[in-house]
Amino acid sequence: MSTSNIATKWSAWAPRLHSVLRIVAAFMFIQDGTMKLFAFPMGMPPNGGTATLLSQVGLAGILETFGGALLLVGLFTRPVAFLVAGEMAVAYFQFHAPQSFWTVVNGGQDPVLYCFIWLYLSAAGAGPWSLDALRAKRATA
């Protein structure tokens, strides 16, 4: 098999890997929210508790848990991804950036990566393995 054949076959997987990126990132994102809201799979550092529901951290937990669940199944992906991309930008600039310019120093790698993954999905959509794709298919049928 030639190199161009391998590249062609691999690039045919791009739409499915788009969906896999969304699913894996959303699953990890949900864990940030459930930690804040339910102390699951662990509580929030340093004492292992939960966030006050109507605090800024509690609202972040709501967005991460329920927005993440919508992203996981790929429902209303574009607006939800845009909303949580903004949440991650706020989290980074409010809590991480003041500590240092470098993300490895300020602990901001996760918010930066989530911000740009969600921003990408807000433009690109959920991919073929999603409820959004299923809804679009049914609307045209």
| pLDDT > 70 fraction of the chain, expressed in percent and rounded | 99
- Work out the pLDDT band at 1, boundaries 50, 70, 90: low
Give the DSSP letter of residue 63.
I
Q: For position 76, what pLDDT does the model report?
A: 98
Contact indicator for 121, 22 with CB cutoff of 8 Å? yes
Taken in order 41, 45, 49, 50, is the CA torsion positive or negative? negative
What tens digit of pLDDT does each residue of 16-55 get?
Answer: 999 999 999 999 999 999 999 999 999 999 999 999 999 9
Q: 109-124 vs 14-38: helix axis angle to the nearest 10?
A: 130
Does residue 71 have a pLDDT over 70? yes
Does residue 120 have a pLDDT over 70? yes
C-alpha 11, offset from chain centre: 23
- Work out the pLDDT band at 81, boundaries 50, 70, 90: very high
Q: For position 109, what pLDDT does the model report?
A: 98
